[in-house]
Amino acid sequence: MIRIAIDGPGGAGKSSVAKAVAKELGIIYVDTGALYRTIGLYMLNNNIDTKDAEAVSSSLSKFTLDVKFVDGKQTILLDNEDVGERIRTPEASMAASNVSAIKEVRDYLLDTQRNIARSNSVIMDGRDIGTVILPYAEVKIFLTASPEARAKRRYDELVAKGHDVTYETVYNEMVERDKNDSTRDIAPCVKADDAVLLDNSNLDFDGTVAAVLKIIKKKNKKTFYMKAHKILAPIIRFFQRIHASGLENIPSDGPVMFCSNHIAARDPILIAAALNRQITFIGKKELFKIPILGWLIKKLGAIPIDRAGNDVGAIKTSVNVLKTGGALAIFPQGHRYPGVDPSETTPKNGAALIAYRSKCDIIPVFIKTKNHKYHFLGKKEIVFGQPIPYASLGLNEGGSKEYQTATSKIFGEILALASPKEASLTDNGGDAN
Ligand code: DC
């Protein structure tokens, strides 16, 4: 699955470029502007002032809007009728721009857009795809061009379709829409921090498609981590006799923090092998100095932490991993405890602090082995619990008291995963810590 977000102002050629790219890659092209245009069209047809937020919002329940893809082509049905080209007139453009500034309209269309991307590889164009709709898109591009170049393209397009317009009108409307779209309070048309900026003022259509494909190819390279994971994870799972349960609780993307009990140094490797998504670990900085191992864990994206003090940098990096949609694993016990029942240990507040700063959900993890030790060739059961929603952690203002409460909750949920099944695990030999 790949999700490509293309945002940018009108007339930059997003839709025709995205259509060509979709064809080249064999994925679906989603034109989200058409959704706003359809709502704009409904308002025009029903004489509702598109600048009247209340009137527009209250009429959202009066029609049905469905999106269909037939042979990869998007069709929008307004009250079961294909809107076709009726949404492409200058009046519908302005109406779309107006209704798109209304929060209720954006909320109304949010799930429609996300649902399409949930089950399909897509290239989706719009204004807020990279920032709001698909913040974890694998590739984000902000496609733009000078207002003159964009107005000229839109003018040529309209004339070719037989519309009776002048360049000046198109230019003025474009500038007005640009202003509307980029200065509105909600979901303004702005480049996402992690989007690639592509100005195609001096590129023709083929040149733009080639540039977009190049960005996609470069951005969508499998990370070293996932390449290594593909080869190593099955081997580790087999030889370490890992049995993972609760994998269905893990979101395939978006920020999430795994909090696990800590038995031995191999815990991170076993968790990583059990999972099917990239995960970042924090390791004591001394590990990064060991030849080969240090190089490897650095390449795998581990974060070094200075255990001697309060390592602000490591916490900041961890928060950033989560804020950019990554997954982080942390051991709240702060220490390895081979042979010790984790319920007899005291967790530290680091995970709660990171959760507070990144507002992420938490997946509790319990590594079950006989007597809380690793045994040579013994079975290891890794249980992934239900996500603990951030909102349930009681982290409102931060501070040690709140962190303490959140830590107890997180640790309680980790311990709760240690079911009686543990007794059935057999060991095949001595300790191997
Ligand atoms: O891309 P377009 O010209 O068809 O978009 C029509 C209007 O809809 C445009 O003025 C801005 C708005 N829009 C939006 O606000 N968010 C999107 N994701 C797509 C379009």
What is the pLDDT of the chain when averaged over all its residues? 91
pLDDT digits over 1-45, tens only?
789 999 999 889 999 999 999 999 999 999 999 999 999 999 999
96 C-alpha to ligand 1 centroid (Å): 7
> Which residue's alpha carbon is at the smallest distance from atom 3 of ligand 1?
10
- Residue in 251, 277, 278, 23 with CA at minimum distance from that of residue 118: 251
pLDDT the model gives residue 427 = 43
387: CB partners within 8 A, 6+ apart: 249, 251, 256, 361, 362, 363
Residue 3 near ligand 1, beta carbon < 6 Å:
no
- In eight-state DSSP terms, residue 223 is P
Binned at pLDDT 50, 70 and 90, residue 420 comes out as low
pLDDT digits over 48-98, tens only?
999 999 999 999 999 999 999 988 889 999 999 999 999 999 899 999 999
C-alpha to C-alpha distance for 27 and 353, rounded to whole angstroms: 40
Helix, strand or coil, per DSSP, at residue 31:
strand
Most confident option among 112-126, 279-293, 337-351 = 337-351
The answer to whether the CB of 283 falls within 8 A of the CB of 272 is no
pLDDT digits over 313-332, tens only?
899 999 989 988 899 999 99
Residue 36 near ligand 1, beta carbon < 6 Å:
yes
Neighbours of 239 (CB within 10 A): 10
pLDDT the model gives residue 225 = 93
Mean pLDDT of 112-132: 91
pLDDT the model gives residue 22 = 96
344 C-alpha to ligand 1 centroid (Å): 57
Is residue 173 scored above 80 in pLDDT? Answer: yes
Helix, strand or coil, per DSSP, at residue 233:
helix
**Dihedral of alpha carbons 224, 228, 233, 234, sign:** positive
How much of the chain, in percent, has pLDDT values that exceed 90?
Answer: 75
pLDDT the model gives residue 1 = 77
189 C-alpha to ligand 1 centroid (Å): 9
Residue 278 near ligand 1, beta carbon < 6 Å:
no
- Residue in 92, 82, 78 with CA at minimum distance from that of residue 37: 92
- Residue in 351, 363, 330, 332 with CA at minimum distance from that of residue 254: 363
Token digits of residue 185? 């309070």
Mean pLDDT of 101-117: 93
For the domain spanning 3-219, the CATH number is 3.40.50.300
Residue 177 near ligand 1, beta carbon < 6 Å:
yes
> Which residue among 6, 29, 36, 67 has the greatest number of ligand 1 atoms within 8 angstroms of its CB, and so is best to mutate?
36
pLDDT the model gives residue 222 = 79
Binned at pLDDT 50, 70 and 90, residue 177 comes out as confident
Amino acid present at 134 = L
Helix, strand or coil, per DSSP, at residue 355:
helix
Token digits of residue 419? 């079911």
C-alpha to C-alpha distance for 406 and 353, rounded to whole angstroms: 9
- Residue in 262, 276, 248 with CA at minimum distance from that of residue 369: 262
Is residue 275 scored above 60 in pLDDT? Answer: yes
Instruction: Compute CA distances 68 → 39, 82, 116, 299, whole Å.
Output: 16, 10, 10, 43
> Which residue among 30, 88, 100 has the greatest number of ligand 1 atoms within 8 angstroms of its CB, and so is best to mutate?
100
Domain segments of the chain as ranges: 3-219, 228-424
Residue 128 near ligand 1, beta carbon < 6 Å:
yes
How much of the chain, in percent, has pLDDT values that exceed 70?
Answer: 97
What are the DSSP E strand ranges found in 71-156?
A: 73-78, 81-82, 122-126, 139-144
> Which residue's alpha carbon is at the smallest distance from atom 6 of ligand 1?
33
- In eight-state DSSP terms, residue 85 is G
Higher pLDDT, 222 or 212: 212
pLDDT the model gives residue 253 = 82
Residue 150 near ligand 1, beta carbon < 6 Å:
no
> Which residue among 65, 67, 97 has the greatest number of ligand 1 atoms within 8 angstroms of its CB, and so is best to mutate?
97
Is residue 184 scored above 70 in pLDDT? Answer: yes
pLDDT the model gives residue 377 = 81
Residue 96 near ligand 1, beta carbon < 6 Å:
yes
Neighbours of 320 (CB within 10 A): 15
Is residue 213 scored above 90 in pLDDT? Answer: yes
> 258 — alpha (psi -120 to 50), left (phi > 0) or beta?
beta
127 C-alpha to ligand 1 centroid (Å): 6
Binned at pLDDT 50, 70 and 90, residue 308 comes out as confident
Residue 127 near ligand 1, beta carbon < 6 Å:
yes
C-alpha to C-alpha distance for 41 and 217, rounded to whole angstroms: 37
> Which residue's alpha carbon is at the smallest distance from atom 16 of ligand 1?
127
426: CB partners within 8 A, 6+ apart: 370, 378, 379
C-alpha to C-alpha distance for 362 and 230, rounded to whole angstroms: 25
The answer to whether the CB of 190 falls within 8 A of the CB of 182 is yes
Atom of ligand 1 nearest to the CA of 11: 3
Is residue 422 scored above 60 in pLDDT? Answer: no
Binned at pLDDT 50, 70 and 90, residue 185 comes out as confident
Mean pLDDT of 279-294: 91
- What is the chain's length? 433
Mean pLDDT of 190-210: 95
Mean pLDDT of 184-200: 91
